[in-house]
Every structure is written in structure tokens, then in C-alpha cells.
Amino acid sequence: MTDANPTFDPPSPDIGADGSSDAIDALCRIVAEGVDVHRCIAARALGRIGAEDAASTLIQALLDEDEDVRADAATALARFGIPAAGDQLLENLLGDPSGAVKLAAIDALIAMRHPGVLPWLLRLAERRDEEVVWDEDEFATGDWDDWADIQARAIDGLAEFGDERGVRAILGALTDEFGQDISEAAFKALARLGTPGISALVPFLKAKSARPRRRVAAALSTAPGGPSDEIVARVFNDPEPEVRLAMAEGLAAGDPLDPRLKPLLDDEDAEVRAWAARRAGSFDAEAGLALLSDPSALVRAASLTALTDANLASDSEVVDRVTELLDDPVEAVVVAAVTALSSTGLPLAQERLAELAVDAEQPEAVRVAAIDSLSGLGDTGAIEPLLAAMIDEGRAVRLQAMTSLAKLATQDSELGEQALEALLAAARGELVEPAPTPEPELPAAIEETDGSESDSTDEEELLEEPAPTSTLAAILAEGSPKVVAIAERTKGVELSPKDIERLARAQATPKKKRVSIISDVALADDLRRVGARLLGDMARPNVAEALAALLGEDDAELRRTAADSLARIAGILGGFGEAVSEALRTAVNDSDSALRLAVVRALGHSGDPDMARRLHPRLRDEDVFVRKEAVLSLGRLGRVDRLANMLTDENAMVRMAAARALFENQGEAAEYLLELVPAHEGVHAREIGRLFRQGDRTAANRWLVALLTDEARRDVWASAIDALEELYRTDLKIDDAQIENPAEIPVAADERRVA
């Protein structure tokens, strides 16, 4: 029930300025006198609020009869760094049998750098000390020894203290043949312990297995002050590429220009050379250029990427080399060459890219890369190949062409106007004629029979042997292929009819099918839908009119896409013309819930308060997402007079959307929203607390504290505590964007969630 890995960050809350001292007093009383679950929640809340005035209460809670309360109190105290708590925390570490309490105590002691814990860290890092009280019953019957977790914390704590005496203890743990594998944590800790720790690590570079050598290399590469040249050279001579890469990545993280990385350009392993090649432009452009002729395609592609990133491809020699690689036999290299060539901005580049874009013989990935690159050249010559690719049979090609046109369409230029017109034409269905609807096939004529003997015989047989009337009868029918197959597989095994039925059913169960990523939508329909989607990035009146015209089309997906794009540009345009508004007013009552959702969002972003009367009926929509969007849209329009009724909606999302809209429009007058804190099993408690921390915290504090002093309302105290915690917590930063989207707010692992 404790927070994982607490960090020491002394808070400085303005306790008492907004009535929060009353909240602290109420929480302290609950920690001291409440039931166990309330004591836990209140202790955690005091820690997250940063209530240093509650330290004495939390110290006393370290002796609570409930181990969860003791652990939560220790975690809360870790934030304060109050020396007075150190002695009792040390007592909990050494004398409390609970593993959870020990972990919380050692974390708190390390966070506050309590000197009394250091000798014990030295002992616990090496062995399961007999002078420490352990839960022997749990150790004997359980699957885990709490000391394993304590040992890992102790090793990390020694590194936090920076005490060089920790080197001997950590080495003792590493060489314990009966101990757990703590090499990764131990190596990192040794690397942080200065010269003695690094000296202790070097011998592990001779380990037989590559895994410990890789871990040592990674630890040494990030050691304070960095590894010596001798150590780097030694690791770069390791026979395993993964070890060399571990050192290289650590060095590059500290200094991308570290000259010691240069030898890896000549490494025998292609993956290592490719890693170095991607950074070659940073420390040796000439060497990176030489790698364009590397026998490994991986390296050639990586070198091209480096040249692109370093913008070195403007050199004539480089351009010639890159152009040659357009004929490379490996597709990935050609794609990288296309990207590198486009970075030059040269006329030659545009000419070659245009050729590749429309060349149907080229691999799809190459064409896509060329089309993408054309949009960055900003030349009217790019329009023609993009238009040609726009109606290509390959969907990836035409999608990239339309995306590239969308990039160009955002420019205020002739090129941008041409690109925009192309997308409008696509959305209107003017580029490709729709495929003709195939005529339905007529059923074959039923042949007349002449009443021959064969027909009558069949009829007699059918009369004599009626069709099976159950699944079991069909399976057990004489000569059934299923029965024959089952009989072959189960020779010598006596099966009942029920067994045979079950086996046959299992055999008949259809297997899962793979879903194809290739769209089977007709070309004309696909162009219209994609065009409508991309137009949502272009907030212009003529675009809005074109999209509104699509709301009356027969294609349901096209209508939804057009409505969604209108919603995206509504807020930017600041309103629509009459033709667009009329189309939206009609579509808001459509039977398609997905369309209604997008239209309601568009109306809410239109900025026209008169649209509210069109939205009011959607507050009763059968689709929960439409109801929620209607609430949000009315909130944006400032028309919240009917939203109080939505606080009783059956859906939690709708209720909270209404609360948020009311609060944002009414501010201090929305105090009645606090009634949601205890309602619905407290599902809204934290969100309501987050709302009021942006407004009148004093009023919220007064209401919540009164609730916590009402003995008859004990059943909702947990919700009130949660709300108070969110009202004052200082262990995270909550901004306005997170209030709008609570999903972005970090939540502790132990917080209660209600689906």
C-alpha cells in the first residue's frame, strides 16, 4: 500500500493560508483515531500534501498496530527529512517484522540521509543480518525473502551516501554464491562510488559470460567523471558486440562528440559500425562518407542517415555518392539515399525524386520516401508528380502523396493553393470516376425433372432416413466424415456419444484469421475519405463549405470524416457561414451516433451560443459519448443552464464532464459540486479535488473538513480524504491542461480506481 521509490523533495506548502490547517488537523486525528483503512489513506494524504506539521502524528503512527499504516507513515515521512523521525524509522527497519514496513523505513532513512542507517546499510548489503528482526514464519512458508528487497535498497543507498566503505560490502554480495543476482544494481552502485568502486568493477570485465561484462561496461560508461581512456579501449576490444555497444551508448549519452567513439567506425561487427555511422557526422565526416561504400547495407543506410542529419549532402562529392546509391540493390539503402538527396535542395534532387515518385517499377517504400521528400522542396514542379501519385493503385503511395499535398497546402503561396485545390477535388470525388455498381447475379434456372425413377428413388430414401434433428445426431450419423476422422485418431479409446460431440465441435471451431492491412475500399471512395480527413488541418471558409457539402453524401464513413474535420477547424475559424451551420443543424439528428458525436463537437467549437438549442436534445442521447460531448460543447458555448441535471447521469464520464463545465462557467458559485465527492462510491472525489484546487480552496476545505467531522458519514470519509489530498498535494504539478484532461495526471499505484 506504499508508494514505490519515494524521492526526497522537501515541500514548502503554504499551510493555513487557505484553511488547510483545519484539513491537516482532521487528517492527523484520523491517523491517530480512525479505522485502519482510513488511517492508511490519511497517512498517505499527509505525505503527498507535504504537511510537515503532521510529522509528530506520523512518527507516532510508525508504532501503529496495522503494518500498512506503519508503512504508509514511513513513506509520508520520507518527504519531510525531519531528523526527529530518524530514530523511530531506524527502529522500524531493525525491529519491525513486516517486510513492507522495513522497505518504507529504509527508503525514508536513505532519502533523509540519516547517518544512523549507514552502518546498517553496510551490513544489510552483504548478508541477512541476524540482529535484524525478520518474519521467520513468512520466510519459512512464503515464496520470497524480504531481505532480497532490503539488500537491493541497501546497495543503492550506499551509492546515495557515496561512502567508499560500501565497495567491500557490495563486492561481498557479488561474490556470494548462494545469494541472488544483484549484479546490475551492484555494478551501477560501484560506478557511483568513485575510484575505489571503478577499480573494483574492472576485474569483472574478464567475466566468462557476456552479460556481466555488458552490465559493467554500461555502468562504467556513465560513472561520474567518465571512464578512463584505458578502460574505454579495453572494452572496445571486447569480443562481444553487445559489450562494446553498451560502453558506446553510455559515452554518447554523456558527450555525442566524444572522440573515443571514432574507432567503432572500423569495428568488425556491422551493427556496431552502423551505430557509429549514424553519429559519424558528429566526429568524423570524412570517415562517415567512406562508409557509404561499406559492404553492409545496414552501415550504408546508417551513414546516409548521418549525412542527412548533419546536412553535409550539399557537397558535390557527397551528392554524387548519394546519387549512385539510388541504384543500390537493397531497398533500405535506396530509401535512405532518397532522404539524403532531398536534404540538398538541389534541382537535380527534385528531378530524380519526381522520377522515383511516379516510377511504378520502384519498390513501394522507395516511392513513398520520394513522395514525402518532394513536399519539403517547396517548388511548383513537385505538384505534377504528387498529383500523379495521388491516384496510384498502391494505397501507401497515394496516402503519402495526399499527405505531402496537405503539407504544401498549409503554405500561403501559389503552390499551397494548387495543393489545396487538389485535396478539395479529391474530397468532392472529381479525380476518379466511381466504379460501376455490379449487377446482381441471377440464380441459375431450376431444371425441371421428368419424374424419372432416379428422382423418385432419392425421394424415397429421404423419406426413409429423415435428416438429423440435432447437432449430436448429425455428428453421429453413419458415415459422417467427422466420426471417421475421430475414430482414426482415437483407436483403442472408448468414447461416449457426448465425447464424440465435444471433439467434433472443437474440430469445427473456426481458426482466427489475420486482418489485412490493405484496404479493400474502392479508389474513388478512399480518395474522398482521405481528402476529407486531411482538409481538417486547413481552417478556411471554402474548406468548411466543401466539408459541409459532404454531410449529405450516402457514404457513412465520408460523412463522419467530414464532420470530424469540421470539428477540428471550427474553433480556429471562430464560426461558420449559414450554409455550413444549416448542414450541421440537420446532421446533429442523424441516426449514426459517430456522426452525431462529431457534429456536436463541431457545434461546440463554433462559438455560436445560438447553437445551444440544437445541442439540448443531445443531452438525452442514447449514446454516452454523444451525451458527454454535448455537455462539453455547451460548456464551451457558456450555456450551462441545463447541465446541473447531468450530474445525475448514469455514466461517470458524463457526470464529470458536467461538473467540469459548471465549475469553469460558475467558479465559486459551483460549490454544490462538492456533493459529488461522496456520491457514486467516491469515483469523482479526486477529480473534484483537482477542480477546486484551481478555484476557491477555502470553501472546498470547509465543506470536506465538515464531512470528516461527521461521525454519521464515516462511510464516505475515504472519498473526502482523497479530495482533500488532491486539493493540497504538493508532490506533483497539475496544470490547467491536466484539469481539462485528467487522464494526463499521474496517479499513485495504490489509488482506488472504479471502472
Task: Flag whether pLDDT at 547 surpasses 50.
Answer: yes
Confidence of residue 160 (pLDDT cuts 50, 70, 90): very high
Mean pLDDT, range 192-199, rounded to an integer:
93
User: Length of the chain in residues, anyone?
Assistant: 755
Task: Flag whether pLDDT at 6 surpasses 70.
Answer: no
Can you tell me the distance from the alpha carbon of 183 to that of 191, in angstroms, rounded to the nearest whole number?
12
Amino acid 482: pLDDT: 52
Q: Which three cell numbers, joined as nine digits, stand for 79?
A: 518527504
Q: Is 345 left (phi over 0), alpha (psi -120 to 50) or beta?
A: left
Confidence of residue 692 (pLDDT cuts 50, 70, 90): very high
Cβ neighbours of residue 401 closer than 8 Å, sequence gap 6 or more: 357, 371, 386, 387, 389, 390, 392
Q: Are 623 and 588 in contact (CB under 8 A)?
A: no
Residue 477 CA, distance from chain mean position? 54
Can you tell me the distance from the alpha carbon of 242 to that of 260, in angstroms, rounded to the nearest whole number?
17
Q: Which amino acid is at 390?
A: M
CA distances from 493 to 287, 463, 489, 499, 542 (A): 72, 35, 9, 11, 76
* Cβ neighbours around 487 below 10 Å, total: 13
CB contact burial 519-540 (16+ within 10 A = b; e otherwise): eeeebbbbbbbbbbbbbbbbbe
Can you tell me the distance from the alpha carbon of 203 to that of 205, in angstroms, rounded to the nearest whole number?
5
Radius of gyration over every alpha carbon of the chain, rounded to an integer in angstroms:
36
Q: Which amino acid is at 194?
A: G
Mean pLDDT, range 291-297, rounded to an integer:
92
Q: Phi/psi of residue 642, each to 5°?
A: -105, 5
Can you tell me the distance from the alpha carbon of 252 to that of 235, in angstroms, rounded to the nearest whole number?
15
Can you tell me the distance from the alpha carbon of 329 to that of 341, in angstroms, rounded to the nearest whole number?
17
Q: Which amino acid is at 160?
A: E
Mean pLDDT, range 131-149, rounded to an integer:
72
Mean pLDDT, range 614-638, rounded to an integer:
95
Q: Are 562 and 550 in contact (CB under 8 A)?
A: yes
Q: Which three cell numbers, joined as nine digits, stand for 494?
A: 472408448
Q: Range with the lowest mean pLDDT among 11-20, 170-179, 321-330, 742-751? A: 742-751
Mean pLDDT, range 260-265, rounded to an integer:
90
Closest Cα partner for 583 from 561, 559, 604, 557? 559
* Cβ neighbours around 745 below 10 Å, total: 17
Q: Are 110 and 78 in contact (CB under 8 A)?
A: no
Amino acid 84: pLDDT: 87
**Residue 66 DSSP symbol:** S
Can you tell me the distance from the alpha carbon of 599 to that of 732, in angstroms, rounded to the nearest whole number?
36
Mean pLDDT, range 195-210, rounded to an integer:
94
Can you tell me the distance from the alpha carbon of 473 to that of 471, in angstroms, rounded to the nearest whole number?
5
Task: Flag whether pLDDT at 9 surpasses 70.
Answer: no
Mean pLDDT, range 142-155, rounded to an integer:
81
Can you tell me the distance from the alpha carbon of 32 to that of 355, in angstroms, rounded to the nearest whole number?
78
Q: Which amino acid is at 634?
A: L
Q: Range with the lowest mean pLDDT among 119-133, 625-639, 669-683, 737-751? A: 737-751
Confidence of residue 442 (pLDDT cuts 50, 70, 90): low
Residue 162 CA, distance from chain mean position? 36
Residue the block writes with cell 557511483: 192
Q: Which three cell numbers, joined as nine digits, stand for 198?
A: 571503478
CA distances from 704 to 18, 672, 696, 700, 716 (A): 13, 12, 13, 6, 11
Amino acid 504: pLDDT: 60
Task: Flag whether pLDDT at 298 surpasses 60.
Answer: yes
Query: What is the rounded average pLDDT for all residues in the chain?
Result: 83
Task: Flag whether pLDDT at 42 surpasses 60.
Answer: yes
pLDDT in tens, 372-421: 988 877 666 778 899 999 999 999 999 999 999 999 998 888 888 999 99
Q: Which three cell numbers, joined as nine digits, stand for 167?
A: 565497495
Instruction: Indicate the Cα dihedral angle 325, 327, 330, 334, nearest 10°.
Output: 60
CA distances from 626 to 192, 552, 631 (A): 55, 20, 9
Amino acid 376: pLDDT: 79
Task: Flag whether pLDDT at 663 surpasses 80.
Answer: yes
Mean pLDDT, range 260-274, rounded to an integer:
93
End-to-end CA distance of the chain: 20
Q: Are 109 and 80 in contact (CB under 8 A)?
A: no
Number of H helices, E strands in the chain: 42, 0
Can you tell me the distance from the alpha carbon of 153 to that of 167, in angstroms, rounded to the nearest whole number?
15
pLDDT in tens, 722-754: 999 999 988 755 444 444 444 444 444 344 333
Can you tell me the distance from the alpha carbon of 484 to that of 598, in angstroms, rounded to the nearest whole number?
56
Q: Are 619 and 646 in contact (CB under 8 A)?
A: yes
Confidence of residue 633 (pLDDT cuts 50, 70, 90): very high
Cβ neighbours of residue 754 closer than 8 Å, sequence gap 6 or more: 652, 680, 681, 682, 683
CATH code 1.25.10.10 region(s) in the chain:
20-254, 541-639
Cβ neighbours of residue 624 closer than 8 Å, sequence gap 6 or more: 651, 653, 654
Amino acid 640: pLDDT: 93
Q: What is the DSSP string of 216-240?
A: HHHHHHTSTT---HHHHHHHHT-S-
CA distances from 598 to 391, 546, 567, 602, 653 (A): 28, 16, 6, 6, 17
20-254 to CATH, choices 2.30.30.30, 1.25.10.10, 1.20.210.10, 3.50.50.60 = 1.25.10.10
Cβ neighbours of residue 211 closer than 8 Å, sequence gap 6 or more: none
- Written out in words, the top-level CATH class of the domain with range 541-639 is mainly alpha
Amino acid 536: pLDDT: 94
Confidence of residue 36 (pLDDT cuts 50, 70, 90): very high
